Structure 1
Amino acid sequence: MHTDNKSVLELMQFDEYDVLELIELSASVGWDYDEHEIRTVMSSGKIFGHKNAVGKIVSSAAIIPYDTDLASIGMVIVNKEYRGLGLGKKATQKCIDSVSKETSIMLISTEDGKPLYENLGFITVDYIHKYLSDSYIQTKMSINQEITLGKYSENDFNEIVELDSAAFGDKRRKFLLNRIEQSKLCLVVRNQKGKIIGYGLSILGPINLILGPIVAPNPQTAALIVDELALNHQGKLRIDVPSSNKELMFFLQKSGFIKVSEPPIMIKNSVNMPYRNKELFAIAAQIFG
């Protein structure tokens, strides 16, 4: 534990000038936030944390408020030399205080972080299944003749927002706008009438190609989106799957993915997750819920 006086640790909101130090803080705990990811977090929400007496960032916590009554917390990190001072709790509480008391707040916890969140009033309501792949096994999948898979265009945005809202449980226009801009690839699935019935994103990070969010009407279409997003990628892949999607998880295991953890989804100011229509097959990332 660091011995500096607590009074020299200032809790503040970070801005674009703090991005590089936030990357360093993330790397110090083995997380792979890069500049693009942190800028998406900042442009979609707020990042709070502490700086020490010489202006070095030693803690962080981020909150992403969505359009109506849901927000997501993530990126809760404390420099190892400053642990035991309650910095993570204070930064997380600042996130909680930044939204109304009527807002349901969700987060996906690490095992180490769970006691902290329970102390702040969060309860476990579900689990996420984190899958990684070092070498994806491409599947020769036949496309259902009743659907078409193509690249996103700006004219698709409003339809995607509505589709995502029903699957996720809240509208998140600002986040989706930022995430699509950040994406390596955004795919849309249309039915015979041209209506969008599914979509998926891939995000190229410093370690993994992240697949998600993926919204689809059924597991077969979700698998098709995964297959297309992963096509020809030479490198590591990551996908985080809600617990209700056992058929997609079976497909992932056949395709070279290995489940590495099952972190809890926790929520505050509610006893349940917001209503979802069971069409969310992969989340964007743990910070975004």
Structure 2
Amino acid sequence: MLMDKTKAFSPKAFSFEVLTLDDVPAILDLIESLGWTHVVKDLEVMLQVGVFLGAKDERGKIIATGALFPYGTELASIGMIMVRPENQKQGYGRAVMDALHGHEIAKGRTLCLIATEAGEPLYKKCGYEVAGRIRKFFGSPEQFLKKSSLPDFPLNQRRVALRAMHANDLGNVIGMDAKALGANRRSLFELRYSQSDYAVIAENKQGEVVGFVLAVPQRGQHHLGPMVAPDCETALAMIGYIAERSDKELRIDVPEDQQALHGLLPSLGFRLIANPPAMIRNNTFPGCREHYWSIMSQAYA
């Protein structure tokens, strides 16, 4: 949902405007100042499916941003809370959160986010509570394939058939994503599917779709998510499918409740990079999260 760029948001002494595709180079400059890995296509998708607010200095350089992504009518994710390094600890983080909370998209919706370590205290002050944690892993496709090739490894006991996802699968998998997440995000999912290098379907012996995963390119990485699967073996099989085809480092953000998966990943060559909190405001996470094995991204939760 995009709004007239001339409309400003002014919590306290700060003024925020709705960013558009014209602002992508400036947003990317802020991303690079923080060492984040998002690419231009990520920003184009975000600007299509959500509202992206930014504060600029007198030269037009973006100082701070925040984004709000609506899912259905009851849930929204907050992400891309960024403040330029030289402007941190000046109140911009709280100001952008106030602006997002005051936006019409936020009204009446449960709000969730994945925090950074530095941002967690701020979000607690804004009324968010830790509802779980995400384990962020990076790993080599070659190491995964080497270590998972042992005869007794569960990947070699798969009970599903894997294939590429096609456009006519989208209705089914978007429904599965909505059931797992607790809200429909059709527009976002369709755009992420078009952005992905690999999209995988898992079918049982009856030919029914029981799982899926997207592999979306970032800088030097393939980000695996969202992933829905009936069990850990199916999740591992889909990771293996992508590892066989990817020439990039793999990143996967696993909910901490999925102990079977994140317990195995270190033995498969993945290294734990961070363990950020998943936070929610005035509610609990909806959906059937037991089948949700990796999130779409920290921005989208």
Q: Above 0.5 in TM-score?
A: yes
Task: Indicate yes or no: 2:285 matched with 1:287.
Answer: no
Query: 2:132 maps to which residue?
Result: 126
**Is this contact kept in 2: 1:101–1:269, CA < 8 A?**
no
**Is this contact kept in 2: 1:32–1:206, CA < 8 A?**
yes
- Which of 15-24 and 275-284 deviates more? 275-284
Letter aligned with residue 253 of structure 1: P
Q: Secondary structure at the match of 2:144?
A: coil
Task: Indicate yes or no: 2:200 matched with 1:187.
Answer: yes
Task: Indicate yes or no: 2:217 matched with 1:201.
Answer: no
Q: Deviations over 1:99-119 (max 9, x none)?
A: 243211001111111111111
Q: Across the two proteins, how many residue pairs are aligned to each other?
A: 282
**CA 1:84–1:277: 2 relative to 1, 3 Å:** closer
**Is this contact kept in 2: 1:8–1:53, CA < 8 A?**
no
Task: Indicate yes or no: 2:257 matched with 1:252.
Answer: no
- Of 159, 174, 191, the match for 1:161: 174
Task: Indicate yes or no: 2:52 matched with 1:47.
Answer: yes
> Could you state the TM-score of these two structures normalised by the residue count of structure 1?
0.92
Deviation at 1:8, TM superposition (A): 9.4
Q: Deviations over 1:45-98 (max 9, x none)?
A: 111110111111111111111013111111111112222332222222222222
- Which of 155-164 and 6-15 deviates more? 6-15
Letter aligned with residue 288 of structure 2: R
Task: Indicate yes or no: 2:184 matched with 1:171.
Answer: yes
Q: Secondary structure at the match of 1:213?
A: strand
Deviation at 1:143, TM superposition (A): 6.0
**Is this contact kept in 2: 1:8–1:52, CA < 8 A?**
no
Task: Indicate yes or no: 2:112 matched with 1:101.
Answer: no
Letter aligned with residue 293 of structure 2: F
Deviation at 1:7, TM superposition (A): 10
**Is this contact kept in 1: 2:158–2:233, CA < 8 A?**
no
Counterparts in 2 of 1:1-289, with a 5 A limit?
A: 10-98=15-103, 99-134=105-140, 136-138=143-145, 139-140=148-149, 141-142=155-156, 144=158, 147-270=160-283, 272-289=284-301
**Is this contact kept in 1: 2:76–2:106, CA < 8 A?**
no
Q: Secondary structure at the match of 1:287?
A: coil
Question: How many percent of aligned residue pairs carry the same amino acid?
Answer: 28
> Could you state the TM-score of these two structures normalised by the residue count of structure 2?
0.88
**Is this contact kept in 1: 2:110–2:281, CA < 8 A?**
yes
- Which of 105-114 and 95-104 deviates more? 95-104
- Which of 91-100 and 52-61 deviates more? 91-100
Give the distance between the partners of 2:246 and 2:165, measured in 1 at CA: 19
Structure 2: gaps of 5 or more residues: 1-10, 150-154
Give the distance between the partners of 2:106 and 2:249, measured in 1 at CA: 39
**Is this contact kept in 1: 2:144–2:243, CA < 8 A?**
no
- Which of 11-20 and 203-212 deviates more? 203-212
Letter aligned with residue 170 of structure 1: A
Letter aligned with residue 219 of structure 2: P
Query: 2:5 maps to which residue?
Result: none
- Which of 62-71 and 272-281 deviates more? 272-281
Structure 1: gaps of 5 or more residues: 1-5
Q: Deviations over 1:167-193 (max 9, x none)?
A: 112111111011101101111112233
